[in-house]
Structure 1
Amino acid sequence: MKSLVSTILSLWFLCCTTDKEKMLVEESDSTSIFNFNAQVTEVSISGEPNAYTFNTTISSPDTGCDQYADWWEIIDLEGNLIYRRILTHSHVDEQPFTRSGSNIPLYSTTEVYIRVHMNTTSYSNAVLKGSIDTGFSSNELDAEFAKDLENVEPLPNGYAF
């Protein structure tokens, strides 16, 4: 019965909502029929204190310029922006995809969140949490946490292609 309800809700959702109103419709097993959120799935790190390179892998439901992951960022546990990597185009045919950020000013013991932002649905609640010393693992963060960072530079200034 839940599957039928999820299917009906998903069909209604596709027919009756705009891109700005898209939301995640989940079944009881936490798998999504239509997932409009992105997530950071992996990170590898090289470098030295205050000059690290993060190779961040993202899985996102990019469809083109109308819906794509437009940045990933590193924030501290209080919600302060440490680093943001702008993504200037969608990755429809490259999923998941990895993009690097360099000269990231962190100490190896600093615990942070790594999260992704979609141009249509804002921040995902699926994040990686950890430090360079302890490693990173999947975690959930309230999507409203530090949401005001959506207005903090650097920000995307257009779509490349």
Structure 2
Amino acid sequence: MVSGLSVAGEADVLNVTITRSGNHQYDFSVTVRHDDSGWEHYASKWEIVDPAGNLLATRTLLHPHVGEQPFTRSLRSVAIPAGITTVKVRAYDSVHQYGGTEIRVALPQ
């Protein structure tokens, strides 16, 4: 028997759009897919990390998106240190944590 908590699988990042908004500042728009089943199992955040794995920013998702899949949320004015030219965006769900599809993307110049 398969638990309802594990059926939803891991959260996948499907698309990332980045716009430069200032000196070392960027606006991110991220599309995530996860078969949210309710408060017990849902995509609860996405994160931006540098190539070394250091956390740069987190977009917390405050509720399940049961009827809205995939969904896109934004995070504005993310400070990215000088010298970093690519970042990775990963999603997190309340049961599996990390493990779904991640996207590495170049920052616009």
Shared fold by TM > 0.5? Answer: yes
Write 1 or 2 for the structure with the bigger share of helix: 1
Within a 5 Å distance, the mapping from 1:76-155 to structure 2 comes to 76-106=50-80, 110-133=85-108
Which structure has the larger Rg over C-alpha atoms? 1
User: Would the aligned equivalents of 1:108 and 1:131 in 2 still touch at CA under 8 Å?
Assistant: no
Structure 1 Cα separation of the partners of residues 95 and 47 of structure 2: 17
Q: Secondary structure at the match of 1:101?
A: strand
Percent of aligned pairs sharing the same letter = 32
Structure number with the higher strand fraction is 2
Q: Is the 8 A contact 2:43 2:92 kept in 1?
A: yes
Query: Relative contact order, CA 8 A, sep 6+: which one is greater?
Result: 2
Q: What residue identity is the alignment partner of 1:41? A: L
- The Cα shift of 1:48 comes to 3.1
Unaligned stretches of 5+ in structure 2? none
The two structures have a TM-score, normalised by structure 2, of: 0.86
Q: Which residue of 1 aligns with 2:14?
A: 41
How many correspondences in the alignment? Answer: 107
Q: How much does 1:51 deviate?
A: 1.9
Q: Is the CA contact (8 Å cut-off) linking 1:108 and 1:133 kept in structure 2?
A: no
| TM-score (structure 1 length as normaliser) | 0.60
Distance apart, 1:129 and its partner CA: 0.6
Q: Which residues of structure 1 form unaligned runs of 5+?
A: 1-11, 23-33, 135-161
Q: Where does structure 1 differ by over 3 angstroms across 4 or more consecutive aligned residues?
A: none
Letter in 1 for 2:89: I
Equivalent residues of 2:8, 2:36 under 8 A apart: no
Match among 36, 45, 63 for residue 71 of structure 1: 45
